[in-house]
A and B are shown apart, each in its own frame.
Chain A
């Protein structure tokens, strides 16, 4: 790691002021410290957000939705019985995310802003497109873990976060604050649309801090579930994951959301797929139609074609589980 200065911010305003050019926000450090050790990030100053009061924990107020502070450690989200009652999908999504140590250290904001795990991107010596190079080395390299859909040319990384699909399935919004302004956007828009061909994964602006995630009241009416396939039983990023949520009555799903992790550079959602399911009595055939729409534009690479049948089966399992509940 290159030398850097370290400062522990006492408030959002102070952190925003300290986050000048060349600085980076530090939460649990589980991704950032790894990037710095690997030579992929070299901030001159780290602004530690973990001491800021008021960005930790969650609240539920009728009319204001469910608010989760960005600095809440993942383990607190996982262990909270109250949160599991309001939003059970969070516990399901965290059950197989990383390890206990990483969930003790890692935070909600950091999980959403973690960078991708493409082995070419993570290797400092490889000048891949995302790092300013001319091409994606995964295209004709080792690509078993890479994207099957939504890549639009540039980069074949996949979105690694287990929480992002789960929260997007409940219409999560994310609040950001800088020294000058505050804004709240749909969580899906925190992830850079690959079609824009920008060499960045997130739309957070320099100097901004993620302060909270908000689930609107209407989305808390949905029941959600999360299924994840890994190449071993533990401590592994998703090969494919599926977050599904819907209001369920008489075996019919309504207001359905289906969001996939591990298949595209961003959490992958196709609204037309949800319309295949809405209002229909659940059947495996309905699930298969939704999965076909989700993956209609899939173009697998040499080693990742297995993700198509895997994703289809996980969509079926997730929707069947919702319908049976």
Chain B
């Protein structure tokens, strides 16, 4: 007989998330979204909450290396999977090449969409270092920028790709 799977909640339960390579234990109700868990339980404010309904991309984080909307993801459902946020990109005090390229190319104005844009570009360049402007545009289609920084976002992504090669 296989063991019956435990039913979690509706009261708060202990969940361990793998965030930026660290095991993080939190106590949450199952309806907690990954976005609220990151921001409110773990104090990681990089992923932004704008629409909270899957229509803007400001909350984009990586789960097992692929971009998702954290606002439409249940935190409990990501237990055992690798979550990456913009806070995990910098290493040894140095920014990630995509972050540096965003600064060098002025790829943001208000900056609200930026963490999401960066995570989408990071996932793209990891999967495929050889990218065209069209690839970049497709990769950030799910990240709205109200300031219209797109041309510079594309330029930054292409520059980061070149540096990686």
List residues of chain A with CB under 8 Å of any chain B CB. 1-11, 14, 18, 26, 29-30, 33-34, 36-38, 44-46, 48, 50, 75, 98-102, 104-105, 234-235
Contacts and interface: CB of A to CB of B under 8 A. Distances in A.
Contacts of B57: 99, 101
A102 B69 contact: yes
A4 B139 contact: no
Interface string B131-154: 000000011011000000000000
A158 B15 CA distance: 40
A114 to B, nearest CB: 12
> Looking at B2, B54, B66, which has the most chain A CB atoms within 10 Å of its CB?
B54
Interface residues on B, range: 20 to 34
B53 A6 contact: no
Contact of A6 (B4, B9, B67, B69): B9
Contacts of A75: 66
A48 B75 CA distance: 12
Given A5-B10, A37-B52, A99-B141, 14 more contacts: A3-B29, A6-B7, A18-B7, A26-B77, A29-B73, A29-B77, A30-B54, A34-B54, A36-B31, A99-B142, A100-B138, A100-B142, A105-B69, A105-B73
A4 B10 contact: yes
A18 B6 CA distance: 11
A100 B139 contact: yes
A9 B5 contact: yes
B125 interface: no
Nearest to B9: A5
B99 interface: no
30 contacts: A1-B31, A3-B9, A3-B30, A3-B31, A4-B10, A5-B10, A6-B30, A6-B76, A6-B77, A8-B5, A8-B77, A9-B5, A10-B2, A10-B5, A11-B2, A14-B4, A30-B54, A34-B53, A37-B53, A38-B53, A46-B74, A75-B66, A99-B142, A100-B67, A100-B142, A101-B60, A101-B67, A101-B69, A101-B142, A104-B68
Given A7-B6, A37-B52, A101-B60, A2 B73 contact: no
A48 B77 contact: yes
Nearest to B67: A101
Contacts of B76: 6
Contacts of B6: 7
Contact of A7 (B8, B67, B142): B8
Contacts of B33: 33
Contacts of B53: 34, 37-38
Contact of A14 (B5, B60, B66): B5
Contacts of A30: 54, 69, 72
